[in-house]
Structure 1
Amino acid sequence: MHTIHSRIKQARTNKGLTQAELAEKLNISITAIQLWENKDETKATAPKRKRLEEVAKILGVTVTWLCTGENFIQTDENPKPTENPGPSDGYKKVMIYDIDLSKNHENINWILSEFEEPLLINNNWFTSKNLISDDLRAMRVKGNSMAPNLDNNDIVIINTNDVEPVDDETYAIIYNKHFFIRQIRQTVDGINLISSNSDYETIKISSNHLDNFIILGKKVWRCG
């Protein structure tokens, strides 16, 4: 199963639920379920984080598995293992971090989240993306400035080894001791930080102020 849409359908059918029954348990319309499971990704939608947690609980799977396919599905046919999968099982961990902005922006203090389970990602994903697990860090999105592409409390993985700006790619950024996740667009005068949400104005950074600007890494994955 290659998408969140197909994994929701698989988990639902494994649980023996119809679309209508799942909709009833979630107190939503059957149309919402149909959109989640739509094979056409241009028309499909996905549940937001809070709803996704409800779906995972009802279907007996993990949020990580629904998002990535890189964790074990919990069904009677495939019971929960006694230990978490590790590198020997073909998985690598990507830890979830917060960032301490109290110090100089050049001295980034990554704080390992005490309350978050690491993401378990299949080795094949790293190979297919030509990524090294030690270069990757996961973090929570705060706010809705990148909605609908990224919503509040989504998880993103950034590649800390990819800090050269490419137009219209999304990066984790620190500017003037503030943390942002934004699209970048280079201009003749500097760099623009662009929100997906039109309620947020573009932040224009002139070349004279780039000393206060640092790219932490490029977004390579998200789940919400």
Structure 2
Amino acid sequence: MEEWKLRLKQAREAKGLSKSDFAKAVRISPPTATDWEKSVADGGIKEISGVRLAKACEVLGVDSAWLLHGKGETPAPAPSPDRIEEIKPVRGLHESDPAFVHIPKVRLLVSAGVSGFGVEPEAYDGATAPVPADWLRRRQLRPDRLIAIRVRGQSMEPTFYQGDTVIINQDDASPVDGAVFVINYEGEDVIKRLVRDAGSWWLVSDNPNQQHYSRKLCKGAECIILGRVVRSEREHY
């Protein structure tokens, strides 16, 4: 079995959590929790990352480096009731964890025809979205230019589902055929795919029900690109 799966089980048992309790705390289904500990040969998943990894580390009180690679302090076994005072707490996932950069979750405040936008903090399932630092380095992205917003509606299914978190790069606001952007469309922030067709730019939904989610012309001040979607984290299970 993959070693990180053994460490996951070890940490869960050290916390005294059943698979069901662990699944509830991490906001995954019990079958998914089972798949996390099951070997790949037996049908288990190969790896976890992003929001799921960060949440699991937070619940278990371990660092991601230990869980994935065995580096760092091993979690102590679950204490018996008469020995609780002798057990030292294990450090959980904090913003100081060098393996992750925490991107603020916000709600966009836009106005029709205005290129800029305001933000107000959001705190659904935590106030930040943890993103692997090595991923940011590979993509050469500036964390201070990234924001995280929550997907609303069903227009971009199956690419994004309602409740998913997407990371937006504010430095990337030039139209690219086929890329997904956050757009200020007539005073509403929307997540759409930009498509070039017949000399014009169009906002296209990924939902196959194109009769309901018809494409819209992206032109002038009524359609302003706010940033490109560079990463998504699935929040529904």
Do the aligned partners of residues 169 and 7 (structure 1) sit closer, same or farther apart at CA in structure 2, a change above 3 Å counting?
A: farther
Q: Deviations over 1:179-220 (max 9, x none)?
A: 2111111123421111111224232316xx422111111111
Do the aligned partners of residues 10 and 191 (structure 1) sit closer, same or farther apart at CA in structure 2, a change above 3 Å counting?
A: farther
CA distance in 2, matches of 1:122, 1:31: 22
1:144 matched to 2:141? The reply is: no
Do the aligned partners of residues 14 and 31 (structure 1) sit closer, same or farther apart at CA in structure 2, a change above 3 Å counting?
A: closer
Give yes or no for contact 1:11–1:61 (8 Å, CA) kept in 2: no
Q: 1:222: how far off?
A: 0.8
Do the aligned partners of residues 120 and 13 (structure 1) sit closer, same or farther apart at CA in structure 2, a change above 3 Å counting?
A: same
Query: Among residues 61, 68, 91, which one is paired with 1:80 in the alignment?
Result: 91
CA distance in 1, matches of 2:38, 2:214: 35
CA distance in 2, matches of 1:119, 1:130: 18
Aligned to 1:108: 117
| % identical aligned pairs | 19
* Higher alpha-carbon deviation: 184-193 or 30-39: 30-39
Q: How many residues align?
A: 197
Aligned to 2:145: 135
* SS of aligned partner of 1:220: strand
CA distance in 2, matches of 1:100, 1:140: 13
1:205 matched to 2:205? The reply is: no
TM-score by length of 2: 0.63
* SS of aligned partner of 2:220: helix
Do the aligned partners of residues 26 and 119 (structure 1) sit closer, same or farther apart at CA in structure 2, a change above 3 Å counting?
A: closer
Aligned to 1:15: 12
Give yes or no for contact 1:168–1:185 (8 Å, CA) kept in 2: yes
Name stretches of at least 5 consecutive residues in structure 1 with no aligned partner.
Answer: 1-5, 47-51, 70-74
Aligned to 1:92: 101
Do the aligned partners of residues 165 and 117 (structure 1) sit closer, same or farther apart at CA in structure 2, a change above 3 Å counting?
A: same
CA distance in 1, matches of 2:104, 2:21: 35
CA RMSD of aligned residues (A): 4.3
Q: Deviations over 1:161-192 (max 9, x none)?
A: 00111111111111111221111111234211
Give yes or no for contact 2:104–2:128 (8 Å, CA) kept in 1: yes
Aligned to 2:163: 153
CA distance in 2, matches of 1:33, 1:146: 29
Aligned to 2:233: 223
Give yes or no for contact 2:150–2:165 (8 Å, CA) kept in 1: yes
Name stretches of at least 5 consecutive residues in structure 2 with no aligned partner.
Answer: 69-73, 77-88
Aligned to 1:177: 187
Do the aligned partners of residues 165 and 34 (structure 1) sit closer, same or farther apart at CA in structure 2, a change above 3 Å counting?
A: same
Letter in 2 for 1:187: D
Aligned to 1:190: 200
Give yes or no for contact 1:136–1:159 (8 Å, CA) kept in 2: yes
Letter in 1 for 2:150: R
CA distance in 2, matches of 1:106, 1:168: 22
Do the aligned partners of residues 24 and 108 (structure 1) sit closer, same or farther apart at CA in structure 2, a change above 3 Å counting?
A: closer
CA distance in 1, matches of 2:225, 2:23: 40
Give yes or no for contact 2:121–2:127 (8 Å, CA) kept in 1: no
CA distance in 1, matches of 2:4, 2:201: 39
Do the aligned partners of residues 219 and 22 (structure 1) sit closer, same or farther apart at CA in structure 2, a change above 3 Å counting?
A: same
Letter in 1 for 2:116: N
Give yes or no for contact 1:95–1:119 (8 Å, CA) kept in 2: yes
Q: 1:147: how far off?
A: 1.2
TM-score by length of 1: 0.66
Give yes or no for contact 1:147–1:197 (8 Å, CA) kept in 2: yes
Q: 1:9: how far off?
A: 8.2
